[in-house]
Amino acid sequence: MTMTAIRQFTTLDVSPAERARYWNEMAHLRYAGSVVDAAYGEDFTGQMWSWTIGPLAMLRPRTHACRVTRSPIARDEEHLILHLQCRGIGRYTQDGTTTRLEPGDMVVATTARPYRIDLTRHETLVVEFPRRPLEQRLGDVAPWLLARSPGTSPSLRIFHDFLLSLWQQGYREEHHEGWEDEVAAVFFDLLAMALRGTAFDRAKRQAPALAQKVTALVEAGLQDPQFSVVHIARQCGLSVRAVQKVFAAMGTTPSAYIQERRLVRAGEKLLAYPEATITQIAFDHGFNDSAYFTRLFRRRNGMTPREYRQRH
């Protein structure tokens, strides 16, 4: 199996009047049959990173609000496509079923039938892959199609971290022989685990303790810089004040807890991924400004992220 280099596409170098046309050409090039309807017209902007690892066609789009429709793809072997929402809100529709994703959530669809995606300003991790290897691990995948996998699931968070780490490794020029096959095998193993894990979590936690639920929502939303107490309240069906009381009982506030968890997770990634840049780690944990991240990190740990990495 082969691996392609990461390619980047952006509308920044395209005249506003040509951006929608350019973006549709790029979307169709990467995923045949795709059409993008840009809600912002000439104000639409987008960036997209693309690469292939063996059977995995990976995409990382970041755009303004838009609608994406895709026609069925005729292949000898059916493919599936997963979308893992990093930022923004997505509504995924196929066969009359609509699934709403918030940051951290994931959904799997088939490319053999048409689907539609309605997105706010967003960033998404997308992977298209053959159906058979997943069914070899999971059995019939039909019950999983268009079923929301919540970002609160520990198994899905592991899979999410794996995808992010793949993108970080993608800029390396060389890997050992057989690396692509090994990565693909791990991908299918972890995806099957994530889907089984979310089903287990739903069955086990019919009525989870509220404190556990809100902290799990925080873990799922750390990558989204817009994530706040408002998102927690909406997903729990509570008022903002009620959520604030939950955190008050824990001796903190929603914003302080979110910031603390971002800094803790970022510190873990600094050591786990020495090749990742400080800026990338900051961005992957909800900080849009690496300088601001560095100030907060130093205030908490008494040293900069770079010093922290060197001393541990």
pLDDT one-digit tens code per residue, 51-105: 999 999 999 999 888 889 998 877 788 999 999 999 999 999 999 999 999 999 9
* Residue 261 maps to a domain: yes
Tell me: do 47 and 181 sit in the same domain: yes
Total domains in the chain come to 2
- Residue 122 belongs to a domain: yes
- Give the burial string for 151-171 (b: 16+ CB within 10 Å, else e): bbbebbbebbbbbbbbbbebe
Give the model's pLDDT for residue 206. 43
Domain of 223, in residue numbers: 210-311
Long-range CB pairs of 256-260 (<8 Å, 24+ gap) are 257/215, 257/218, 258/218, 258/221, 258/222, 258/227, 258/228, 258/286, 259/296, 260/300
Same domain, 73 and 124: yes
User: In this structure, is residue 1 part of a structural domain?
Assistant: no
Render pLDDT for 17-38 as a digit per residue (tens, 0 to 9).
888 888 888 877 777 778 888 7
Closest residue by Cα to residue 107 from 72, 60, 145, 58 = 145
Express each pLDDT in 195-245 by its tens digit: 988 877 665 554 357 888 899 999 999 999 999 999 999 998 888 988 898
Q: Is residue 267 part of a domain?
A: yes
Q: Are 286 and 227 in contact (CB under 8 A)?
A: yes
Continuous segment of H or E residues that includes residue 53: strand 46-53
The verdict on 148 and 262 lying in the same domain is no
Compute the mean pLDDT over every residue in the chain, rounded to the nearest whole number.
Answer: 89
Q: What's 78's domain CATH number?
A: 2.60.120.10
In whole angstroms, what is the distance from residue 70 CA to residue 114 CA? Answer: 6
What is the pLDDT, as a whole number, of residue 18? 84
Kindly state the percentage of the chain with pLDDT values over 90.
60
So what's the pLDDT on residue 203? 54
Mean pLDDT for the stretch of residues 131-149: 92
Q: Are residues 172 and 250 in the same domain?
A: no
